[in-house]
Structure 1
């Protein structure tokens, strides 16, 4: 039996049985982040379908533009690293738009509550990924760090636009966070 080697700069924790290999981890990171950025794009498109001509339209449009840049970067990583996309993209296409539109129909503050909940989960997710990747993938980790900062900016924008004043904010936020965590778990695997 040969010992497993870890690429230089990778996180130093030992791999446990069931942990993905470094190559599988890279594939998983790119797949889930691509799916997540695609889902975020669809959420903002759903919000814009309802609120695009209202006061919040430019704010949502700005966040969408940033998500499109994130999505483009992960599409390039997919090609460069030959990572496969999530087979669940058709679900994210419908579910993302539906979540964005539904929360926007509840009002601008509910749309911002959706943004806050999703971006808090993404911040947590990106932090975990950075810890797992270590310094083994500098171009990828650099992008993730930049995108994480922009996701935190989106969360702060949502808070500044009254997210916490949305109807049933704690329940709405908890439900969206649970759904986001489930979507991450599924997209990592499928």
Structure 2
């Protein structure tokens, strides 16, 4: 029996939907494992007061939410990219973001804390943003990556100044994440990213502020 091109496209769309749904469930339920060694491997747990531990956990929860959003963004932008090269590079960056997701999830457990209760909402919102960016074309989508990573890098640098100085484990994780985000932004720039318009950049900062403030507590 022969299938029409329309039927094949429908099957492809269904397969993509199933794969995307599976990835979303694994991301939200923190089932990812890191493919690289943990940045804090071999480091001893610091003696933290209850307040310091709560503060470190709040910051790491924010970082974990950031990685939930990163998975959604890269999944959406890769799925709807217009060229195989861009899709391939976004997938590579997404794998490194999976490492971040695994590291922050583990660190939260070590701090006797939990991920954000709003993770499904964060994922859905970020995925929607990723689809919109991708539909604007690869150059605009890559520009969105550059701006996102620029803002995330600044956010992580701020966390390094806020984490307890003796919490070397959390600091090692955040520092490696910061290095990776800089690399991802540079990769997107080299692929032909266009500059993200100022109103969009300001909207992104506003959305990030809402997310980080809320995720620290919930």
Deviation, 1:53, is 5.7
Question: Which position in structure 1 is the counterpart of 2:148?
Answer: 118
2:129 aligned partner:
99
Pair member with larger Rg: 2
Per-residue CA deviation, residues 128-150 of structure 1 (Å, 9 max, x unaligned), is 11111243111110111011010
Task: Provide TM-score, normalisation by structure 2.
Answer: 0.72
Contact 1:47 1:101 in 2 (8 A): yes
* Deviation >4 Å, runs of 4+: 7-10
Query: What is the CA distance between 1:127 and its match in structure 2?
Result: 0.9
- One of 165, 182, 187 as aligned partner of 1:135: 165
- The two structures have a TM-score, normalised by structure 1, of 0.82
Post-superposition Cα deviations, 1:150-169, rounded to whole Å, max 9, x if no partner, equal 00111222222233356xx3
For 1:3-58, what per-residue CA distance to the aligned partner results, in whole angstroms no more than 9, with x for missing partners?
xxxx8899xxxxxxxxx931221120121111111111111011122027633011
Q: Is the 8 A contact 1:121 1:177 kept in 2?
A: yes
Conserved 8 A contact 1:52-1:58? no
The equivalent of 2:51 in structure 1 is 21
Return 175-184 or 113-122, whichever deviates more.
175-184
Equivalent position of 1:51 in the other structure: 81
**Paired position in structure 2 for 1:173:** 201
Q: Are the aligned partners of 2:133 and 2:141 in contact in 1 as well (CA < 8 Å)?
A: yes
Deviation for aligned residue 1:82: 1.6
Q: Which runs of 5+ in 2 are unaligned?
A: 1-45
Distance 1:69 1:160, change over 3 A: same
For 2:115, what is the secondary structure of its paired residue? coil
What CA deviation, in whole Å up to 9, does each residue of 1:92-150 have, x standing for no partner?
Answer: 12011111111001111121122122211211111111111243111110111011010
- CA distance in structure 1 between the partners assigned to 2:113 and 2:144 by the alignment: 29
SS at match of 1:157: helix
Tell me if structure 2 keeps the 8 A contact 1:121–1:181.
Answer: no
Number of equivalenced pairs: 173
Secondary structure of 1:26 counterpart:
helix
Please say which of residues 150-159 and 171-180 is displaced more in the overlay: 171-180
1:136 match: secondary structure: coil
Q: Which runs of 5+ in 1 are unaligned?
A: 1-6, 11-19
Match in the other structure for 2:42: none
* SS in structure 2 at match of 1:85: coil
**Contact 1:31–1:85, Cα closer than 8 Å, also in 2:** yes
